[in-house]
């Protein structure tokens, strides 16, 4: 047995701009245990629910995260709508789905860039973000914001994507698809990348299930967990299957996310073909009275929104469980037995969003 030492990782680390601290217990070069500690950027978002009325809270909820902001707004709004028994127009459901998928694309492309940077492919990192920029342009053109969309409200959406704009987006996504297929070869076919990712940080299906892993992290271990099949938004009308890999290593997680990018493009195409005409929102009267537990699929995995109201404009409780929170346990398990040099890549493969987790 070698000498055991503890090495701190973070809260400031070059691979990750967000603050997570891990105490890595090392035996020679092998990690035998990782102890996480979070709480560096807690903002008390959930306590604001007693100070802001339920309409104002939409803007607070979507600022939970800077990358998956649209999903947070959508999850909260759909929970409130369920409590108030509001049936939103079909067009609003489709628009939310399109924006959600654009949001997933920009999140996954951002993550692919960070991964490329972590294993030392800087030009590939720039290339991923160049592709992402085209998605951001579409988001900005349709919503007015690059990462904070602010288009959701209780009862529907506030902005429309007309047929002309949607046609343009679908056409542009064809180009984006070609570019993604090109980088797919670089990520999945390159021998150096395979050497860095294959067999690194393996999490078996049973481990992933026991630790409650969510999103692409769980799907790469063979768990068919995708909240979109529950059919919220317009997902019930669209044809898709969760993308699953069974290897459970870092390579599988990368492959899972790249394939989800192509799946998102396909979903947007389907939604654009089926989107019905009609109103964008319905008027909402009264205050939410009751509670609801909304589960949606964020780019990083399943997010949970618990909302409770008592017939007043101010809600009693908002609880958000973000996917990274669910995946931290899985991360600590994958780190056990890993090489010290692989720790940054393994931390990245869960696509951590620490500010999101701390709310």
Residues binding another protein (CB under 8 A): 52, 55-56, 59-60, 63, 123, 127, 130, 133, 140-145, 148, 150, 158-159, 182, 185-186, 189-191
> Closest CB to another protein among 150 and 207?
150
CA distances for 254 relative to 15, 38, 174, 342, 349, angstroms: 17, 25, 22, 15, 8
> Closest CB to another protein among 106 and 127?
127
> Closest CB to another protein among 93 and 127?
127
SS3 305: strand
Phi, psi of 150 (to 5 degrees): 50, 45
> Closest CB to another protein among 144 and 278?
144
Distance CA 291, CA 16 (A): 36
Look at residues 78, 83, 59, 81 and name the one whose alpha carbon lies nearest to residue 296. 78
- Strand order, beta sheet including 21-27: 4-9, 21-27, 30-37
Place of tokens 């989107």: 275
- Shortest CB 190 distance to another protein, Å: 5
- Shortest CB 143 distance to another protein, Å: 7
Q: Is residue 325 a contact partner of residue 355, using CB atoms and an 8 Å limit?
A: no
- Shortest CB 203 distance to another protein, Å: 27
Q: Which residues, 6 or more positions from 163, have their beta carbon under 8 angstroms from its beta carbon? A: none
- Shortest CB 1 distance to another protein, Å: 41
SS3 112: helix
- Shortest CB 300 distance to another protein, Å: 23
- Shortest CB 162 distance to another protein, Å: 12
> Closest CB to another protein among 63 and 269?
63
Distance CA 127, CA 112 (A): 10
> Closest CB to another protein among 52 and 295?
52
């Amino acid at each position: 047995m070698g000498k055991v030492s503890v090495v701190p990782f973070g809260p400031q680390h070059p691979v990750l701009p967000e603050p997570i601290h891990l105490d890595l217990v090392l035996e020679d070069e092998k990690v035998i245990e990782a102890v996480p500690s979070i709480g560096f950027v807690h903002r008390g978002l959930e306590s604001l629910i007693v100070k802001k009325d339920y309409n104002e809270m939409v803007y607070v909820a979507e600022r939970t995260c800077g990358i998956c902001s649209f999903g947070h707004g959508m999850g909260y709004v759909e929970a409130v709508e369920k409590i108030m028994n509001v049936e939103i127009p079909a067009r609003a459901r489709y628009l939310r789905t399109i924006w959600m998928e654009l949001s997933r694309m920009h999140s996954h492309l951002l993550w692919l860039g960070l991964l490329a940077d972590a294993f030392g492919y800087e030009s590939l990192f720039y290339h991923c973000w160049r592709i992402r920029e085209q998605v951001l342009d579409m988001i900005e053109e349709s919503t007015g914001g690059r990462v904070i969309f602010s288009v959701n409200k209780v009862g529907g959406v506030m902005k429309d994507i007309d047929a002309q704009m949607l046609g343009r987006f679908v056409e542009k996504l064809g180009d984006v698809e070609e570019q993604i297929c090109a980088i797919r070869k670089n990520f999945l076919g390159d021998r150096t990348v395979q050497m860095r990712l294959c067999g690194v940080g393996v999490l078996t299906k049973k481990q992933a299930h026991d630790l409650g892993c969510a999103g692409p992290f769980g799907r790469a271990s063979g768990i068919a967990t995708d909240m979109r099949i529950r059919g919220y938004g317009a997902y019930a009308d669209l044809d898709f299957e969760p993308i699953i890999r069974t290897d459970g290593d870092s390579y599988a997680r990368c492959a899972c996310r790249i394939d989800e990018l192509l799946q998102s493009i396909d979903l947007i195409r389907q939604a654009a073909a089926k989107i019905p005409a009609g109103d964008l929102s319905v008027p909402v009267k009264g205050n939410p009275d009751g509670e609801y537990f909304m589960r949606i699929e964020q780019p990083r995995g399943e997010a949970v929104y618990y909302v409770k109201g008592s017939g007043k404009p101010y809600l009693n409780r908002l609880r958000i469980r973000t996917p990274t929170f669910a995946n931290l346990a899985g991360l600590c398990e994958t780190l056990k037995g890993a090489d010290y040099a692989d720790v940054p890549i393994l931390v990245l493969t869960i696509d951590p969003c620490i500010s999101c987790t701390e709310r």
